[in-house]
Chain A
């Protein structure tokens, strides 16, 4: 079953603007991961944040995690047209999860040149 919801479902912005996507989940986690998917392609891992971390940066990406609210956000700064893709959060459940991931429904990001 799906772990939670992503918000918004779709986001349309201009190049240079920041894009923020939110993810909520329902159960305890080992970590939360963000993935990107270009249309009709496989998923590419962007960033992983562990349950004991609150914020993580990677290049133009900033991820926050609030385990008390069971939510995470992904911020892409200074967006580019090449950032156009679907973005998914995925949780790795606590305990012996074997690395199984539960995905959100995704946010479709469109960056206009």
Chain B
């Protein structure tokens, strides 16, 4: 069966520090991968998606970047965090159009 791992679960980082959140998927190959952000009490906003190794599309201009170094690994990064980067970050995978998405447990990032 397929599983998705996302870590860390919580993170407190100072303004200006770098960020690296990692997500890995098991039990499937060539998944579409997604990074979403959820502000408190709000719906999810798509940040990045990837349909293959090295292929990253950004949905929202921002202080973040994403990379997919391996088929089932998706990384969200920042060189210098801003206070506005605080939020709940969720990684997800799907088989593409018409398929349900499977979400990781999320990372709660607080920038102080």
Q: Contact residues of A with B, CB < 8 Å?
A: 2, 30-31, 33, 35, 40-45, 48, 50, 88, 90, 92, 96-106
User: Which A residues are in CB contact (< 8 Å) with B61?
Assistant: none
B49 pairs with A105, CB closer than 8 A? no
B106 pairs with A100, CB closer than 8 A? no
Q: Chain B interface: which size bin?
A: 20 to 34
User: Which B residues are in CB contact (< 8 Å) with A98?
Assistant: 32, 49, 51, 57, 96-97
A88 pairs with B44, CB closer than 8 A? yes
* Contacts between the two chains (Cβ within 8 Å), count: 72
11 A–B contacts, CB within 8 A, in A order: A42-B105, A45-B101, A97-B97, A98-B51, A98-B57, A98-B96, A101-B44, A102-B46, A103-B44, A104-B43, A105-B43
User: Which A residues are in CB contact (< 8 Å) with B94?
Assistant: 99
State the CA gap A42–B105 with chains docked (Å).
Answer: 4
State the CA gap A40–B100 with chains docked (Å).
Answer: 21
User: Which A residues are in CB contact (< 8 Å) with B106?
Assistant: 40-42
State the CA gap A19–B43 with chains docked (Å).
Answer: 20
Cβ 8 A contact of A30, one of B32, B36, B98:
B98
